[in-house]
């Protein structure tokens, strides 16, 4: 009589079968197969239902957190306003700068209002072949052969940076719209200053409904006692609402002020939708490493 063959585990084959059917699976040994399948399906259904409940709870918590963040931003702005020194509203009856003022006085006023980084400014470029346009830092070494590494090297990482500061001559060229050489000249501004502060806040609107949305925001500013001005954009198909500060303020607080005013506007005028609103400038709370502070 042949003896049972030994298993790879060192035991007999019939012992191995016993191990697999009873020892390794004690929960299912002796159960009817159909009952076990039904039980497993029911357990899976219960687990999926519990997962759905947890997901819904997480979504509710996210929504509650966002609402609390908006409330906190509003409270911080209100607190900062209460502790801020009272600023007397300027009178324009005896304004020091008028249409008849010398050009240098107008330029100086413009520079004080639209003040940004003093060491660099963006200049508009346009590729007539592709139709593309944009802004890049004004640099004396731009496209200089053997020095400028564009487009492979980013301006913020270039070792040959020689940025041009936005002095009075640059502002005058911008206001005239002509650099005296190639014609059209448009200078921009990097609003985020060293120390993460800014002199102004601007809300950008750029769709068909921009006039309604921008005017609704202006009305909210008026109600809240926040001086603001509307400017039509270069394209004519959008605009910017500007809020100027008497001294540099933290960009985080400035952006929170803008968010509160926009939220108030949307709550006061829910019918307008605010679809044309794009973003705030500065659009960052903190200057990123190697960034320019847009």
Say if residue 213 is exposed, middle or buried (CB neighbours under 10 Å; 0-12, 13-18, 19+).
buried
Contact 185, 179 (CB under 8 A): yes
CATH annotation of 192-294: 3.90.920.20
Q: How far is C-alpha 237 from the geometric centre of its chain's CA atoms? A: 22
Cα–Cα distance list, 207 to 68, 121, 164, 241, 275 (Å): 30, 26, 33, 14, 7
Q: Cα(183)–Cα(176) distance, rounded to whole angstroms?
A: 10
Arithmetic mean of pLDDT, 190-212: 93
Least confident among 25-34, 137-146, 185-194 = 25-34
- φ, ψ of residue 205 to 5 degrees: the values are -125, 135
Report residue 68's pLDDT band, with 50, 70 and 90 as the boundaries: confident
- Confirm whether pTM is higher than 0.75: no
Distances in whole angstroms, Cα of residue 3 to Cα of each of 8, 19, 251: 16, 19, 86
- Which residues are CB-contacts of 223 (< 8 A; sequence separation ≥ 6)? none
Which pLDDT does position 34 carry in this prediction? 61
Question: pLDDT for 228-247, tens place per residue?
Answer: 999 998 888 899 999 999 99
Report residue 23's pLDDT band, with 50, 70 and 90 as the boundaries.
very low
Q: CA torsion, points 13, 14, 20, 23, in degrees to nearest 10?
A: -130
pLDDT greater than 60 at residue 16: no
Quote the CA–CA distance of 216 and 266 in Å, as a whole number: 9
* Tens-digit pLDDT profile for residues 36-61: 667 777 788 889 889 999 999 999 99
Map out the domains of the chain as residue ranges: 40-84, 116-190, 192-294
Average pLDDT, the chain: 82
CA distance 169 to 162: 17
Q: Are 228 and 221 in contact (CB under 8 A)?
A: yes
In this predicted structure, the answer to whether residue 20 has a pLDDT above a threshold of 60 is: no
What's the pLDDT at 24? 45
Residue 3: the pLDDT is 46
pLDDT of residue 250: 96
Backbone angle region of 15, left / alpha / beta, with phi > 0 → left and psi within -120 to 50 → alpha: alpha
Looking at residue 32, its pLDDT comes to 56
Q: 102-157: per-residue pLDDT in tens?
A: 888 888 899 999 999 999 999 999 888 898 999 999 999 999 999 999 989 999 88
DSSP 13-76: HHHHHHIIIIIS-TTTTT--HHHHHHHHHHHHHHHHHHHHHHHHHHHHHHHHHHHHHHHHHHHH
pLDDT for 89-101, tens place per residue? 444 455 688 888 8
């Amino acid at each position: 009589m042949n003896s049972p063959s030994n298993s790879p585990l060192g035991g007999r084959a019939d012992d191995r079968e016993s191990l697999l059917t009873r020892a390794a699976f004690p929960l299912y040994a002796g159960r009817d197969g159909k009952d076990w399948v039904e039980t497993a399906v029911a357990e899976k259904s219960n687990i999926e239902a519990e997962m759905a409940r947890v997901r819904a709870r997480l979504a509710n918590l996210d929504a509650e957190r966002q609402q609390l963040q908006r409330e906190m931003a509003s409270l911080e702005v209100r607190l900062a306003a209460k502790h801020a020194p009272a600023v007397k509203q300027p009178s324009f009856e005896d304004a020091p700068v008028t249409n008849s003022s010398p050009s240098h006085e107008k330029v100086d006023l413009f520079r004080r209002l639209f003040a940004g980084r003093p060491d660099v400014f963006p200049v508009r470029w346009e590729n007539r072949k592709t139709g593309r346009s944009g802004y890049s830092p004004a640099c004396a070494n731009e496209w200089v052969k053997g020095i400028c590494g564009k487009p492979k090297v980013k301006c913020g990482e270039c070792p040959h940076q020689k940025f041009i500061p936005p002095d009075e001559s640059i502002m005058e060229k911008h206001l005239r719209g002509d650099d005296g050489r190639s014609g059209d000249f448009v200078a921009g501004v990097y609003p985020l200053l060293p120390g993460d502060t800014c002199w102004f806040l601007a809300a950008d609107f750029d769709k068909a409904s921009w006039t309604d949305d921008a005017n609704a925001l202006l009305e909210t500013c008026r109600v809240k006692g926040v001086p603001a001005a509307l400017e039509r954009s270069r394209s004519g198909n959008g605009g910017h609402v500007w809020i100027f500060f008497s001294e540099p303020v933290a960009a985080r607080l400035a952006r929170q002020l803008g968010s509160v005013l926009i939220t108030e506007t949307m709550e006061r005028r829910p019918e307008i939708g605010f679809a044309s609103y794009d973003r705030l400038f500065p659009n960052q709370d903190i200057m990123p490493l190697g960034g320019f502070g847009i």
